[in-house]
Amino acid sequence: MRIALTAAFFAGLIYLPAASASSLLRPWVGETPPSFSLDDLRGTPRDLQAFKGNVVLLHFFATWCEPCVREISSLRRLTEIARDKPLKIVAIDVAEVDLRVRAFFEKLPVNFPVLLDRDRAVTKAWQVSALPSTVVLAPDLTPRLFIEGDLDWSRPDVLATIATLYPAAARRAEPITVQTINNPRGETTR
Amino acid sequence: MNRREFIQGTTALSLTAMLPNAARAQAVFAPKPGAWRTVDLVTKLEIAKPDGKMQAWIPLPSVNETEWSRPGETKWTGNAAKVERVRDPKYGAEMLHVMWKDDEFMPAIEVTSRVATRDRAIDLSKPGKAAPLSDAERKLNLQGTELIPVDGIVKQTSDKIVTEAKATTDIEKARAIYEWVVENTVRTASTRGCGTGDIASMLKTGNLGGKCADLNALYVGLARAAGLPARDVYGLRVLPSQFGYKSLGAGSANVTKAQHCRAEVFLDGFGWVPVDPADVRKVMLEEPPANLPITDAKVVAARKALFGAWEGNWIAYNTAHDVALPNGKHPKLGFLMYPQAERASLLLDCLDPDNFRYALMAKEATAT
């Protein structure tokens, strides 16, 4: 009842109930925010420019955020599924103590870099105001897609959407069997 | 209302109807200003695995209000190289800044603060003669903070609450926001510590779950956006509730994890009015037998009281946001309610007191 009331209350606002947010990859609107360099969990500076040439998922999260924690396993699946693709996940922890984030990933190791936005400077520059949020960048690092809320990144329709951003050579190698949002019954398409 | 809630609600009402008078009388939560209670709060802090530069910042009770909070003397012992009492320049939050030598074998400090506290209850039936806020205080308590913006979705939400409630006076607005927070948020047991208080994120995602630093920050942000000066008051539960509410008091003398943030809204003629919608949701979730419906007599009593009153079994540290730790190179904290410490230039996890190694003990000194 609470959720229904809340949704009704917000009708007409930009409010997105969690359930609908999880299926919404929107086109990025606006300028490309400035590039950045952030420390990873070992304290080594990592520059966004180093990921150029890949589709990049810039994933903003925090360890206290339950949907974020849920989403991490789907991001891990995505790296497995797309291991031969020019795809990189760059996770950005927002404003948490280094030791807390390190301890978290010691228990839940991931196969992508985790960077620390200690003072929220990058989060603000990228206009992120809700966690989790993910910006999908084209190989030239221009933002193309954006989602506020969690998403199953291993969903076929999501994989197909990401695949449209791969460089031409990688796109040709895409498997042809995908299920799209417009094909809910999962019929084979081309 | 879904069927389950409906059943819970009617069951509770039926049971309440069958209760003898004595049992129903237990659902009383009515703090009234009376005797002061004096508490000694002892904070013991050690830095495990000492390494490199080590320092700590320990919040001190620093809310001085004639009617309900009187901080007293603070003493400390330990092996620190330097200890100084420092004050946040913007909000006046006090903390003990402790520094050790780099080669200190077992950095430790014990801080004892005495503080007197008592119940609050504001007569909201008619305005009194409370002094007005100064322009500077009004400005401070109307502006946004890093995690509590007062524009965008916060302003939109606040406007909608006020409009739908047809609230026109300040007290009507303050109450409408209180009722909305009570009805639309939820206490989430798994939230770490007291939450983070990132209210724009809460509203944007629709996840209105959290704990006191989330739910009461939401109240403060919505109130400020409605033009009402409001503030979070960060503190600690130190004594059991005298009204028998287990969820609203300290369970033992060990209050290491008993941090609790309350809120206040300033209403002309009434002064600072205590408000605590987060504790209404805490009663619902935790008060035995737990998961009480909003219609439960204990919830109803707490909800009625917690707009205008709170119990003096809690002490206030400060009302500060965006706190910089002196001599630290760390980003500002959203609020200062837990001891903080640094080892080898890294902040320790203040929500992990067992590994950080700090403990808070509270003992009532005298009743006056």
Which chain B residues in 286-305 lie under 8 Å from chain A, judged by CB atoms? none
Residue B85 lies in a domain: yes
Nearest CA to B133 out of B234, B269, B232, B264 is that of B269
Among candidate residues B291, B311, B331, the one where a domain is terminated: B311
The predicted-structure confidence for A94-138, as pLDDT tens digits, reads as follows 999 999 999 999 999 999 999 999 999 999 999 998 999 999 999
What percent of chain A is predicted at pLDDT more than 90? 70
Do residues B150 and B227 share a domain? Answer: yes
The predicted structure's pLDDT at residue A95? 94
Q: Give the predicted TM-score (pTM) of the model.
A: 0.86
Strands lying side by side in the sheet with B69-78: B69-78, B108-117, B37-46, B358-367
The predicted structure's pLDDT at residue B24? 43
Residue A177 lies in a domain: no
Nearest CA to B58 out of B364, B360, B286 is that of B360
Do residues B20 and B66 share a domain? Answer: no
The pLDDT of residue A40 is above 90: yes
CATH number for the domain spanning B103: value is 2.60.40.2250
Over chain A, what is the mean pLDDT? 82
Do residues B350 and B296 share a domain? Answer: no
CA-based nearest residue in chain A for residue B349? A100
Do residues B202 and B305 share a domain? Answer: yes
Over chain B, what is the mean pLDDT? 92
The predicted structure's pLDDT at residue A128? 93
C-alpha R_g of chain B = 21
- Per-residue pLDDT 10s for chain B (368 aa) are 333 333 333 333 344 444 444 444 468 999 999 999 999 999 999 999 999 999 999 999 999 999 999 999 999 999 999 999 999 999 999 999 999 999 999 999 999 999 999 999 999 999 999 999 999 999 999 999 999 999 999 999 999 999 999 999 999 999 999 999 999 999 999 999 999 999 998 998 898 999 999 999 999 999 999 999 999 999 999 999 999 999 999 999 999 999 999 999 999 999 999 999 999 999 999 999 999 999 999 999 999 999 999 999 999 999 999 999 999 999 999 999 999 999 998 999 999 888 889 999 999 996 55
Residue A83 lies in a domain: yes
Residue A16 lies in a domain: no
Residue A181 lies in a domain: no
Which of A2, A99, A148 lies closest to B205 in CB terms? A148
Q: What average pLDDT does this structure show over A163-182?
A: 60
Do residues B63 and B212 share a domain? Answer: no
Residues of A with CB under 8 A from a CB of B: 1-3, 5-7, 9-10, 13-18, 21, 62, 64, 66-67, 95, 97-100, 103, 118-120, 129-131, 148-149
Nearest CA to B218 out of B145, B290, B120, B286 is that of B145
Do residues B110 and B190 share a domain? Answer: no
The pLDDT of residue A157 is above 50: yes
Do residues B152 and B228 share a domain? Answer: yes
How many beta-carbon contacts under 8 Å exist across A and B?
85
Q: Cα separation of B316 and B69, whole Å?
A: 7
DSSP labels for chain A? -HHHHHHHHTTTSS---HHHHTT--EEP-SPPPPP-EEEETTS-EEEGGGGTTSEEEEEEE-TT-HHHHHHHHHHHHHHHHTTTSSEEEEEEEES--HHHHHHHHHHS--SS-EEEETTSHHHHHTT--SSSEEEEE-TT--EEEEEES---TTSHHHHHHHHTTS-HHHHHTS-S----TT-TT-----
- Pair of tokens at residue B228: 């009402």
Establish if B146 touches chain A: CB-CB under 8 angstroms.
Answer: yes
CATH number for the domain spanning A144: value is 3.40.30.10
The predicted structure's pLDDT at residue B205? 86
The pLDDT of residue A18 is above 60: no
CA distance A62 to chain B (A): 11
The predicted structure's pLDDT at residue B79? 97
Do residues B267 and B349 share a domain? Answer: no
Sign of the dihedral through C-alpha A61, A64, A65, A66: positive
Residues of B in Cβ contact (< 8 Å) with A130: 200-201, 204-205
Do residues B189 and B77 share a domain? Answer: no
Beta strands at B209-210 and B230-237: parallel, antiparallel or unpaired: unpaired
The predicted-structure confidence for B289-332, as pLDDT tens digits, reads as follows 999 999 999 999 999 999 999 999 999 999 999 999 999 999 99
Residue A48 lies in a domain: yes
Residues of B in Cβ contact (< 8 Å) with A103: 349, 352
Residue B237 lies in a domain: yes
Residues of A in Cβ contact (< 8 Å) with B9: none
The predicted structure's pLDDT at residue A15? 32
Residues of B in Cβ contact (< 8 Å) with A11: none
Do residues B161 and B76 share a domain? Answer: no
Q: How confident is residue A11, by pLDDT bands cut at 50, 70 and 90?
A: very low
For chain B, how many structural domains are there in total?
A: 2
Among candidate residues B311, B332, B358, the one where a domain is terminated: B311
Among candidate residues B311, B336, B359, the one where a domain is terminated: B311
For chain A, how many structural domains are there in total?
A: 1
Range of the domain at A71: 21-172
The predicted structure's pLDDT at residue B367? 52
Q: What is the ipTM score, two decimals?
A: 0.80
The predicted structure's pLDDT at residue B26? 63
Do residues B292 and B361 share a domain? Answer: no
Range of the domain at B228: 3-30+120-311
Do residues B169 and B228 share a domain? Answer: yes
Measured torsion, CA atoms of residues A99, A104, A108, A110, in degrees rounded to the nearest 10: -50
Which of B1, B156, B348 lies closest to A1 in CB terms? B1
